[in-house]
Amino acid sequence: MAKTMRLDKLLSHMGIGTRSEVRKYIRYGWVEVDGAKPKSGSVHVHPEAQTVLYKGAPVIYKEYVYYMMNKPQGVVSATEDARESTVIDLLEPEDQVFDLFPVGRLDKDTEGLLILTNHGALAHGLLSPKRHVFKTYEAVVDGPVNENDISAFKAGVTLDDGYETLPAELEILSVGDHKSETRLTIYEGKFHQVKRMFESRGRFVVFLKRISMGPLKLDDALSPGEYRALTEDEVNQLLEQAGLSEE
């Protein structure tokens, strides 16, 4: 259960306004705590034990928030960037107030599943090399892929810097003279790993999309650039995957 916190901090955290704005709202009498109108934003409230209203509507406190995004190509997986648009720029203003960050990164030209949250411990658990959280991608590569590639990935391949990857699962979806459609599951997250794995086999990735991370699968209803809140069941699955008890 959350601890007590300043009223102005609570309202600001929940997207009602900036600290200075919510102090004005309190002075205007637009805010109630357990039926009383406080005089100052400095009063402390227990967000889960007391009833807070803003213009008559309840303010429901959420310490952590979790979103699934279908990241589009052309944006970077970062909270801010001086030159590029980021995944945070795709969020509605009311969601940006939660100081969200992406769990891991997808390259600018890669699309697909991206988790956004403000829960640092969850992100750390999902990204920890010790937990080997699997990630599955759909990759289109130039030229044909064959059983030798499947065997090589299963044994682990050596990347350009000498690193030998953990065994990975490669599935061939279709093969043509000029391109192959594949599905690849890896159990680690080295820099540009999927692209470099295929490059070790003499193949170049021309399209890459992440479709799952641990127990979480990309919602087919989400178009590139769209996002939605995770369900309670999805959150609990991720917490378990990250080695965290439900909070």
Cα–Cα distance, 48 to 60 (Å, whole number): 8
Q: In the 8-state DSSP scheme, what is residue 3?
A: P
Q: Is 107 marked active-site?
A: yes
Q: Which of 81, 89, 95, 107 is catalytic?
A: 107
CB atoms near residue 32 (< 10 Å): 18
Nearest to 169 by CA among 127, 136, 131: 136
Using CB atoms within 10 A of its CB, is residue 202 exposed (0-12), middle (13-18) or buried (19+)?
A: exposed
Torsion on CA atoms 133, 129, 125, 106, rounded to nearest 10: -70
> Which own/partner contact pairs does 51-58 have at CB distance under 8 Å and 24+ positions apart?
52/7, 52/10, 52/11, 54/11, 54/16, 54/25, 54/30, 55/30
CA angle 70, 74, 77 (to 5 degrees): 60
Torsion on CA atoms 92, 95, 100, 106, rounded to nearest 10: -30
Cα–Cα distance, 105 to 120 (Å, whole number): 15
Q: In the 8-state DSSP scheme, what is residue 53?
A: E
Residues serving a catalytic function are 107
